[in-house]
Amino acid sequence: MISSPAPRPLRIAQVAPLFESVPPKLYGGTERVVSYLTEELVRQGHDVTLFASGDSVTKARLVPGCKRAVRLDPARPDPFALHARMLEEVCRSAGNFDIIHFHTDELHLPIARRCKTSRVTTLHGRLDIGGLAGLYAEYKEQPLVSISNAQRRPLPSANWLATVYHGLPADLHVATEAQGSYLAFLGRVAPEKGLEQAVEIARGSGIPLRIAAKIAHSDQEYFDSQIAPLLDGTLVTYIGEINEHEKTRFLGDAVALVFPINWPEPFGLAMIEALACGTPVIAFPHGSVPELIEDGVSGFIVEDARAAVRCTQRVNELSRRRCRESFERRFRSENMAQHYRDVYELAMD
């Protein structure tokens, strides 16, 4: 029997946003996924160049778009200026690559149109924003990847090549078998993330809530006026942003991750981080949630805080081992990279 040849290595450019380093020092979704994808593609033998902030850490070839990531830079540089310069450099060097993979929302579209090199764009944000339908109609030739099927709904006629779910390295987190002692809230403080509902769930269940979340400058007033008065240091505790290594214990020691969002979440990386730790998820049914959480297996999908409270009393019915198995079956970075390898072949045809 003649075995088929292994897929040829590709020369791949990964173009990350400059708001956070790759990987981020603390909070950061898009840049964290770019890191996992980049490192896995390198591991699989591809020649990868990463365009990102200069404080990024990677085994790929790093081309810095700025000295340090924008959000943690005390000089507060103009992010548009930095991205414009980086994208111009991507375009100048396009001939060195088989495929360019953009993660910079719509910023690169005018430059991507000028490049003859094959390219693909993963959209990481919400798409139900005014003006985006007209924009993607103008750039209808640009191939796109969604991170959930739900994310696509506002732009059904866009040039979608595939949906590719995010993935984490299999050894990044270790699952715990023991039941936790508190509810976890992980991500960022913002009205659409449902932190007030998370507090309501904690109060209704009597289970302490620990909040590990970023507060953006734009959300500081919301935190000060709506969330800070709810903190008592006993039932509801804010512990601030945590890094990647701290997540294993934070999530692993939790009864469940509460994810009471009230917006069309494009993906929700915190959910698969929890599953990797063996921790079930109690979530509201918006955006990607019904795609990622297997109701009654890896968590509970509920309509409101009252239903979530009832589920906290049933969470011990769920197997933490099966939560981890759900992660390993569906959300490993190895799988993500292979799916993107298939997407690259489609884009290069």
Asked if pLDDT for residue 3 goes beyond 50, the answer is no
Nearest one of 214, 162, 204, 189 to 31, comparing CA atoms: 214
Produce one character per residue of 256-272: b if its CB has 16 or more CB atoms within 10 Å, e if not. Answer: bbbbbbeebbbbbbbbb
DSSP state of 129: S
Specify the pLDDT at position 5.
54
Specify the pLDDT at position 2.
45
Give the helix/strand (H/E) hosting 283: strand 281-283
Nearest one of 199, 170, 167 to 182, comparing CA atoms: 199
Specify the pLDDT at position 6.
60
Region class of 187: left (phi > 0), else alpha (psi between -120 and 50), else beta: left
In the chain, the percentage of residues whose pLDDT exceeds 70 is 98
Q: Which two tokens stand for residue 308?
A: 């979530």
Give the chain's domains with CATH numbers. 11-167+332-348 (3.40.50.2000), 182-330 (3.40.50.2000)
Specify the pLDDT at position 190.
92
Specify the pLDDT at position 292.
98
How high is the mean pLDDT of the chain?
94
In the chain, the percentage of residues whose pLDDT exceeds 90 is 88
Specify the pLDDT at position 72.
80
Instruction: Give pTM, 2 decimals.
Output: 0.93
List pLDDT tens digits, range 141-168.
999 999 999 999 999 999 999 999 999 9
The most confident of the ranges 174-178, 207-211, 243-247 is 207-211
Asked if pLDDT for residue 216 goes beyond 90, the answer is no
What integer is the mean pLDDT of 29-50?
97
List pLDDT tens digits, range 105-143.
999 999 999 889 999 999 999 999 999 999 999 999 999
Specify the pLDDT at position 29.
87
List pLDDT tens digits, range 73-82.
888 899 999 9
